[in-house]
Structure formats: C-alpha cells, structure tokens
C-alpha cells in the first residue's frame, strides 16, 4: 500500500507531502489546477520516463518520493532481491527519483542507488495505472494467462501440468542422452575396442603412478648407494693395499733387526719407536679387514634387486604413454577403462535401454496431455465465466456495443510447457460488426480506462490476495449521470480489497471516495503554485456541490451533494 508521496519542485509544485489512506482516494479540482502533476510525480518515483520539463522553473532539481508499506508478497520480495536491494522484514519500501534541470535523473530504492529499469520493474509490480492509453498490465497479453488462471482459481491444475512437464522433460532428456551415447559408441566402436584392449593389457591401478614414482626414487638412490659401497670395497680389498701394508711391516721389522745387530741397547728409544710402528701397521691391517667386513655387511643390507629400477621406469613410461594417447591423466586410466567398457556395452544393450526409456517418455507425454487437457478445460470454463462477467460490466460503463472474449491459441510448435499448451489473449471488438483485436485497439483513452475498470471489477475478489495500488486517470471522461454513478460504484467496490486513487471530474465518482484531495492553484508574490488540500466532511460536500453547479455553489447543489455522499 502507498502510504506517502513527497514532491519537490515539480512543475507548479514547490513542496508537497501527502499521506495516503487505504480504500478509494479521489482527486478533484478545476481544469488546469494541476491534478496530472500529482500523477506525473508518482510516475517519476515509479520509474516513468523523465522529462526535464517537469522541473519547476528556476529550480535546479526536482524529486519525487513514494513510500510503500513493507512488502509481503513473495514474488515482489524476490524481484527486489534479484535486483540487488536489501529490504529488512517490516521495513517500508521507499522509491525515490531526482531529476536535474538538464534532464539527468537518479533513482534510489531504500536510499540504495538503482537503475531506472530496476525502479520501473519494482514500480510496475506495486502500482497499476489505467487511463489515457496508459493501461499498464492489461495491454500486455503476456499477463492475461496469469489473470485468467488466478480468476479461475486454477493453481491445482497448474501444479499438475508443471509437475507433468518436469517429468516429461526428464524422460525425454534420458532418451536423447541414451541415443546420443549409443550413436557415439557405435561411431567409435573400433577405436573403443582397441583402447579397451590396450587398457586391459596395461591393467592400470588406482594411485599406481604415485607408487611407481616413489619406488623409482627409492630404487635410484639405493642403486647409487650400492655402487658407492662397491667402490669402497674395491679400494679396501685390493691387493695393492695389502701388499703395501705387508711390505711396510717387513721393512720396519728389518730395521728393528739391524738396529739390534748394531748393539743398540734394547731400551733405546729407537727400538721402542720401531716396535710401536710395527704394532701400528699390524693394527691397520686388522682394521682394514674389519672395514672390509663392515662394507660387505652394509652392501648386503640393501634390498636391491638388479633390474628392478628398470622395470619400474618401464611401467611408469607405459602408463604415461597411454595417458597421453587418450588425452587424460594416469590416475584417470582405471575410470576411463570402465567408461570404455560401459560405452561398448551400450552397443550391445543400448537398444533395449532406449526402448525402455522411450516407453517411459511416451507414458510421461500421455500423463502430461491428460493434465494439460484438464487445465485447458478449466481455463475454458473460467474464460466463459470471465467473459460473462466482463460483458455484464461493459453496459453500465457506456461500452454496451463492445464485445469481449478470451482467445486461446496453441503454443508454438505444440510445445508441452509448464504453463499448458495454449497462449491466452484478451480481445475486444468495440463496435458491432468489427473484428476482435488486442485491447490497445481501443481508440479512446476514456473508453480504455473504463474497459480496464470493467476488467478489474470482473476480476475483483477472484485474483490472488496481493492487489497492487490502482490508479485511474479520468476514467469518467466524457460520461455523466448513470454511467458516472456506475463508474463510481465499481471504483468503490474495487477499493474494498485494494488501494485505489482516481482523478475525476465527476461528482458521482467523487462522492464514493473514502478520502478526498482537492488540487488547486495558489498565487503568492506573483508566483503560481499547485497545492493539495485533504478535505474534511464539510469541505468535501462543498467541493462536490461545486462540481455539480459550477463556480456559483447553490443550496440545491449542496443538497444534491449531501444526497450523493449519503
């Protein structure tokens, strides 16, 4: 519901803050007072086209702000969220638009910068405008199906069709996938067979590449270590080392003997040093033998099988070559092997699987057709009721020559979709003998607005619970008397379940209002401004009397006004 409208520097309006009630609010005033300015300002806030001519002369910028109660409709909340705006639960929705004198405009949703397109989409979800060839919603045939379905209460049938359509889509996709897979397998049967045979021979295992790479690293290090030990063994165990140590020992012993023969005192330091040298050489010979034994033991401790490294490298090379050939990774080879086998199985067993899937798809089509037939029948019945209801409304609204119908057309290509198998269009013939056509074929703006009123009156109480704000601009144009009374009665009826604003010149319509705004011009210091007065009961009677009698309000007009208000 619209709760407030603030206008700054738009045409003749300097500053205006309006509080809006529920029910039916009527706007009256003399011709040229500026009633259209109020609607233009609201349209600006809702994303209508901005015209620099709206900016009041001498002002740098105009602005319009519309405040709505916190949205509770799931579709509206989803739309606001999809457009990137945050609205906390229970928080009012504020749409604001500024317009500079050079024509540049800015838009805001709850003070968050917005694109004009997003503002317009949200505005159209909140407000319907009817009148002067601006009947938003009804002129768009894409809205007609939802209007008819809501009117007929056809959600159960819609759910049935949507569910059947989803199952059919899944079944048909299964058939298509199986056929495509079988065709692909058949086209590559020879290649698949050879690739599978190669993989069967190779027999790749999960994580084998990682294991082989680790084993290769270990075996490579072990091979080098064994080679190093072999070099050490060769150096320690060679004849040259043993011969040299033996020769050295013999030479030292000869020196000791000759020193003794020369009469050297046995306690002489020379003989002691020669003895120590002989002992050291002897120990070296023993330790060399021990070193050889240790090296041999270390070499024997390595679990190294000759040729094992070559086998690991050959296996790793074979796995990687196969992966390159098949354009995959080594780790994926086992799964690819299974996939090749499955694709080849499709050639053998695919026909049976496809036949079963086609039977399931055929059953899904039959189920869909039954659900769609039930929906179509329900729509036709709802269309008959809606047509009768609209035709009942047209006569009192001075559209008695007009004829209305709901046209059904098959969907393009007989498509089985989630919304049924037909498109829905509301059509009208404005005079006897003229063909039916789209709603925008109505030439007169007043007739178009009254037809919209007839449609809304026929749909009232049968649509979904969320009713947008409805605005009717001079819906009573060119009519009076009983027709104007009929217009007022239908507006009042609509206002029982929605918020309705109407610009009117008709006292019969104005008398039906729950709230009454009078738009007037005021002059101050040579400057003309437009202002709006919220009328109390007495002022309201006086305004309706003025509308009845003209500039000079008579007692008879006042009495008639009291009678109209009731």
What is the tens place of the pLDDT at every residue in 2-25? 999 999 999 999 999 999 988 999
457 and 564 share one domain? no
Number of domains in the chain: 2
C-alpha to C-alpha distances, 415 to 147, 169, 365, 380, 535, nearest whole angstrom: 21, 11, 11, 19, 56
Report the DSSP beta bridge partners of residue 28: 518
> pLDDT tens digits, residue range 152-211?
999 999 999 999 999 999 999 999 998 888 887 777 778 878 888 988 888 888 888 877
> pLDDT tens digits, residue range 364-382?
999 999 999 999 999 999 9
CB 504 within 8 A of CB 476: yes
- Is 412 exposed, middle or buried, given 0-12, 13-18 or 19+ CB atoms closer than 10 A? exposed
Q: What percent of the chain has pLDDT over 90?
A: 42
Residue closest to 23 by CA, chosen among 566, 512, 519, 562: 512
Question: Where does the pLDDT of residue 306 fall: very low under 50, low under 70, confident under 90, or very high at 90 and above?
Answer: low
In this structure, is the dihedral angle defined by the CA atoms of residues 422, 461, 516 and 59, taken in order, positive or negative? Answer: negative
- Is 284 exposed, middle or buried, given 0-12, 13-18 or 19+ CB atoms closer than 10 A? middle
449 and 521 share one domain? yes
> pLDDT tens digits, residue range 209-219?
877 777 777 66
1 and 75 share one domain? yes
In this structure, is the dihedral angle defined by the CA atoms of residues 76, 79, 80 and 81, taken in order, positive or negative? Answer: positive
pLDDT number for residue 205: 86
449 and 558 share one domain? no
Q: Which two tokens stand for residue 507?
A: 């006292």
112 and 7 share one domain? yes
pLDDT number for residue 221: 67
CB 205 within 8 A of CB 319: no
48 and 83 share one domain? yes
- Is 440 exposed, middle or buried, given 0-12, 13-18 or 19+ CB atoms closer than 10 A? middle
Within a domain: 384: no
558 and 484 share one domain? no
115 and 75 share one domain? yes
Within a domain: 214: no
Report the DSSP beta bridge partners of residue 531: 520
Within a domain: 255: no
469 and 566 share one domain? no
Within a domain: 40: yes
Within a domain: 566: yes
State the pairing for strand pair 127-130/469-473: parallel
Question: Where does the pLDDT of residue 465 fall: very low under 50, low under 70, confident under 90, or very high at 90 and above?
Answer: very low
Could you tell me how far CA 57 lies from the centroid of its own chain? Answer: 44
- Residue by residue, DSSP assigns 352-373 as HHHHHHHHHHHHHHHHHHHHHH
Within a domain: 77: yes
Domain that holds residue 543: 536-566
CB atoms within 10 A of CB 296: 15
495 and 565 share one domain? no
**Cα within 13 Å of Cα(384), Cβ side:** 5
Which CATH number covers residue 529? 3.40.50.300
Within a domain: 169: no
Within a domain: 90: yes
550 and 509 share one domain? no
- Range of 275-279, 525-529, 533-537 with top mean pLDDT: 533-537
**Which has the higher per-residue pLDDT, 42 or 306?**
42
Angle at 113 between CA 110 and CA 118, to 5 degrees: 85
- Is 352 exposed, middle or buried, given 0-12, 13-18 or 19+ CB atoms closer than 10 A? exposed
CB 70 within 8 A of CB 89: yes
pLDDT number for residue 466: 56
19 and 106 share one domain? yes
d(CA 346, CA 358): 16
CB 209 within 8 A of CB 331: yes
CB 566 within 8 A of CB 489: no
pLDDT number for residue 136: 60
Sheet of 437-438, strands arranged across: 403-410, 422-429, 437-438
Average pLDDT over residues 292-312: 71
pLDDT number for residue 31: 81
């Amino acid at each position: 519901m619209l709760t407030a409208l603030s206008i700054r520097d738009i045409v003749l309006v300097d500053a205006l803050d309006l509080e809006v009630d529920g029910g039916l609010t009527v706007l009256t005033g003399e011709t040229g007072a500026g009633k259209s300015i109020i609607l233009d300002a609201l349209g600006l806030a809702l994303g209508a086209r901005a015209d620099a001519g709206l900016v009041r002369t001498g002002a740098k910028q105009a602005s319009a702000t519309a405040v709505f109660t916190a949205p509770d409709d799931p579709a509206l909340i989803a739309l606001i969220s999809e457009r990137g705006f945050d609205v906390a639960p229970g928080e009012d929705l504020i749409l604001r638009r500024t317009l500079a004198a050079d024509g540049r405009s800015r838009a805001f949703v709850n003070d968050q910068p917005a694109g004009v397109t997003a503002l317009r989409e949200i505005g159209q979800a909140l407000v319907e405008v009817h009148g002067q060839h601006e009947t938003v919603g009804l002129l768009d045939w894409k809205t007609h199906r939802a209007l008819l379905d809501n009117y007929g209460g056809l959600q159960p049938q819609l759910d049935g069709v949507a569910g059947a359509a989803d199952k059919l889509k899944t079944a048909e996709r299964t058939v298509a996938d199986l056929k495509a897979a079988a065709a692909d397998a058949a086209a590559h049967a020879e290649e698949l067979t050879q690739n599978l045979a190669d993989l069967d021979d190779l027999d790749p295992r999960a994580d084998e590449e990682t294991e082989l790479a680790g084993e290769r690293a270990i075996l490579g290090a072990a091979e080098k270590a064994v080679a190093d030990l072999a070099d050490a063994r060769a150096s320690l165990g060679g004849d040259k080392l043993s011969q040299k140590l033996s020769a050295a020992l013999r030479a030292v012993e000869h020196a000791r003997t000759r020193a003794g023969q020369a009469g050297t005192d046995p306690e002489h330091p020379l003989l002691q040093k020669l003895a120590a040298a002989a002992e050291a050489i002897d120990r070296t010979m023993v330790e060399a033998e021990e070193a050889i034994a240790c090296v041999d033991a270390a070499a024997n401790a390595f679990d190294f099988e000759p040729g094992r490294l070559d086998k690991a490298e050959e296996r790793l090379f074979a796995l990687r070559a196969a992966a390159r050939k098949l354009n995959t990774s080594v780790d994926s080879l086992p799964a690819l092997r299974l996939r090749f086998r499955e694709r080849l199985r499709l050639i053998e067993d695919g026909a049976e699987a496809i036949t079963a899937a086609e039977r399931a798809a055929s059953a899904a089509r039959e189920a869909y057709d039954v659900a769609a037939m039930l929906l179509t029948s329900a729509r036709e019945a709802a269309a008959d009721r809606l047509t009768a209801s609209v035709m009942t409304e047209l006569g009192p609204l001075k559209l008695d020559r007009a004829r209305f119908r709901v046209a059904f057309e098959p969907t393009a290509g007989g498509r089985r979709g989630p919304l049924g198998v037909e498109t829905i269009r509301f059509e009208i013939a404005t005079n006897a003998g003229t063909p039916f056509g789209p709603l925008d074929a109505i030439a007169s703006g007043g007739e178009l607005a009254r037809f919209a009123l007839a449609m809304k009156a026929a749909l009232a109480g049968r649509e979904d619970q969320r009713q947008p704000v409805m605005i009717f601009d001079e819906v009573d144009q060119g009519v009076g008397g009983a027709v104007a009374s009929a217009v007022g009665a239908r507006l009042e009826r609509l206002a029982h379940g929605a918020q309705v604003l109407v610009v009117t010149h008709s006292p019969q319509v104005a008398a039906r209002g729950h709230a009454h705004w009078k738009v007037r011009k005021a002059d101050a210091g040579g400057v003309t401004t437009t202002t709006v007065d919220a009328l109390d009961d007495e002022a309201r009677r006086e305004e309706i009397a003025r509308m009845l009698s003209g500039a000079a309000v008579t007692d008879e007009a006042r009495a008639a006004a009291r009678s109209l208000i009731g």
